[in-house]
Amino acid sequence: MQSSALADFLWGKKAKLSYLLIAAIVLLFTCLAGREMWTQEHRWADIVAGMFFRNDFLHPYLGEARYYDKPLLSYWLIAGIAQLIGTLNMWALRLPSALAGVLAVWSIYRLGRELKDKQLGLLSALMLLTTFYFVFWARTSSADMLNLAGTLFAITWYREKRQHPSFFNYAVFFLILALTSLCKGLVGAVIPMLAVLVDVVLARSIKQHLRWSLFLGALPALVIYFIPFWASSHFGGEVYGQSGLYLVYRENVLRYFQPFDHQGPIYTYFIYLPIYLLPWTLFFIPALVGLKRRWKNLSAEMKWLTWTLFAIFIFFSVSGSRRSYYVLPLVPFAILFTADWILATFNSVKRWQASVAGVAIFSYLFILFALDFAPVWYYSQYGVSRFADSLKTEASKDKSWDSWHFVMLDAETKLIFYLGLPPTTKNYGTQADREAQNTETLRKAWPLLTNKPANTIFVTRKRYVPLLASFFQDYRLFELPQQPARMLLKYNEENMPVAFIPLESTRYRAAASV
């Protein structure tokens, strides 16, 4: 295929949105459960598992601690999918984010088409789909991709309906804001409202929207937003002891003005926005550098997009609380900004069309390999999920799996999920750095070592095995066999999970002593 024909197929006359949506489904859903649970994903797994365990979907717990730091909707989406498929697994955890990723691709296409034309919409959607960190977060269980998709969908709805103000259009817009805010927090409403504010200021259209249908349209959304908080407080709130609305204030307003954690430097997003745009940073930076020169030739729509990008960037930067992935909602606006520059600068030059098309194809294939296929092999060699499956098989040789009790000794939290244990399973930590531990410090931190309960498997890290040997003389050590691939990948063997399984004689003596 010639280079110009390839570009024409990707975002030109022969391109179709259906091709992009199929490509998005393939990229976002292939081997979705192949990667092992990643850092913060355990919170969603633990909280939703706790909801099923307690049969309480109004009061989130992280382990046995109350944890209403996020609103309820992202947990409910996972719980609903788990109910549909019959189990809470990695598919259920990640499916809401993957679906949100498809919605974001569709929304950026619609927004690009509304701002300029179908070509901008298609190229923007293609670029977003081939942005590494967009795909990474769309394949991660969290509220961040739900927030990105919701804010982008709300802005797209506003841009398409702003010339047709009506109760219905306002009601849908505010409903999107309410649902997005119920996923991550008030930032789901603030970002679209910033975009609307920029538009009404530039277009001087405030009077056009100051009508009764605007205020009436907001009422259903307000009711829907407050219902989960009211229900949490009204049904069991006194026992739970945390106010969801207060935590909305603490996590969104107080954290913004008086941050109590995540206090990155003010230049945080100058660093992470280019990183989160890879590989399209190669084009975003020259587009930004050339903005002053081409400003006079920009359409009113693209000036709105540029001002909106700057406004949201400033909003995030002046916040006292900054983290790398907070920049994620900026990515679609930066992509649209860059795509417009590419079309204005290179659309008539076949060689540059080939370069852009080549970056898109290469990035798509690289992401497909790196995030979809490679983790399946990677975690077949080692990891918590493989250890959990092997431990279930090993422990079931002696007695049924359900008859065992478990104690976690500074084990990785996600082991509780992979072993299918209740979220109330105890996981004892250490009182100092892991590297500073010795037999005596572990005995003080874990006093049950000297009075071990019967029929109990103890799960810990490999680094502690020499220090715990004297406490588990009548137990057999279970661990995954050494794999050449682990040595090749230089995996941290010290943190590999291991388990102490009671011998038959140990179980009998423990049972008799009870």
For the segment 358-417, what is each residue's pLDDT rounded down to a tens digit?
Answer: 999 999 999 999 999 999 988 877 788 889 999 999 999 888 988 999 999 999 989 999
Question: Quick check: is 256 in a domain?
Answer: yes
DSSP state of 256: H
Range of the domain at 393: 384-513
The secondary structure element, H or E, covering residue 445 is helix 439-445
Domain-ending residue, one of 359, 376, 393: 376
- Give the chain's count of helices (H) and strands (E): 28, 7
The distance from CA 252 to its chain's CA centroid, rounded to whole angstroms, is 18
At residue 407, what are phi and psi to the nearest 5 degrees? -130, 130
Is there a single domain that holds both residue 345 and residue 401? Answer: no
Is there a single domain that holds both residue 363 and residue 412? Answer: no
Is there a single domain that holds both residue 158 and residue 212? Answer: yes
Q: Give the closest residue to 276 by CA, choosing from 415, 137, 104, 438.
A: 137
Is there a single domain that holds both residue 177 and residue 265? Answer: yes
Is there a single domain that holds both residue 182 and residue 285? Answer: yes
DSSP reduced 3-state for 458? strand
- Asked whether the predicted pLDDT for residue 9 surpasses 80, the reply is yes
Question: Quick check: is 162 in a domain?
Answer: yes
DSSP reduced 3-state for 285? helix
Mean pLDDT of the chain: 90
State the average pLDDT over residues 222-231.
Answer: 95
Give the amino acid at 288.
L
CA distance 370 to 175: 36
Is there a single domain that holds both residue 412 and residue 355? Answer: no
Domain-ending residue, one of 319, 354, 376: 376
Is there a single domain that holds both residue 152 and residue 119? Answer: yes
Q: Give the closest residue to 146 by CA, choosing from 136, 159, 137.
A: 137
Question: Quick check: is 85 in a domain?
Answer: no
Question: Quick check: is 469 in a domain?
Answer: yes
CA distance 490 to 486: 6
Q: Is the dihedral of CA 293, 299, 305, 310 positive or negative?
A: positive
- Are the CB atoms for 497 and 411 separated by under 8 Å? yes
Domain-ending residue, one of 352, 376, 400: 376
Task: Identify the residue with better confidence: 81 or 486.
Answer: 81
Reading the block at residue 419, the tokens are 């072993």
Is there a single domain that holds both residue 324 and residue 412? Answer: no
Confidence of residue 150 (pLDDT cuts 50, 70, 90): very high
- Asked whether the predicted pLDDT for residue 497 surpasses 60, the reply is yes
CA distance 261 to 250: 12
Cis geometry, peptide bond prior to residue 279 (ω within 30 degrees of 0): yes
Question: Quick check: is 68 in a domain?
Answer: no
CA distance 314 to 322: 12
Total domains present in the chain: 2
The distance from CA 458 to its chain's CA centroid, rounded to whole angstroms, is 31
Confidence of residue 483 (pLDDT cuts 50, 70, 90): low
- Bridge-based pairing of strands 456-461 and 427-428 is unpaired
Reading the block at residue 330, the tokens are 């900026």
Reading the block at residue 489, the tokens are 């990948």
Q: Give the closest residue to 74 by CA, choosing from 143, 168, 158, 153.
A: 143
Is there a single domain that holds both residue 371 and residue 424? Answer: no
- Asked whether the predicted pLDDT for residue 222 surpasses 50, the reply is yes
pLDDT confidence of residue 508: 46
Is there a single domain that holds both residue 306 and residue 323? Answer: yes
Question: Quick check: is 412 in a domain?
Answer: yes
Task: Identify the residue with better confidence: 483 or 459.
Answer: 459
Reading the block at residue 340, the tokens are 């417009």
Is there a single domain that holds both residue 317 and residue 440? Answer: no
- Asked whether the predicted pLDDT for residue 41 surpasses 70, the reply is yes
Strand partners, 428: 409
Question: Quick check: is 220 in a domain?
Answer: yes
The distance from CA 125 to its chain's CA centroid, rounded to whole angstroms, is 20
Reading the block at residue 449, the tokens are 């070592």
Is there a single domain that holds both residue 165 and residue 213? Answer: yes
Question: Quick check: is 76 in a domain?
Answer: no
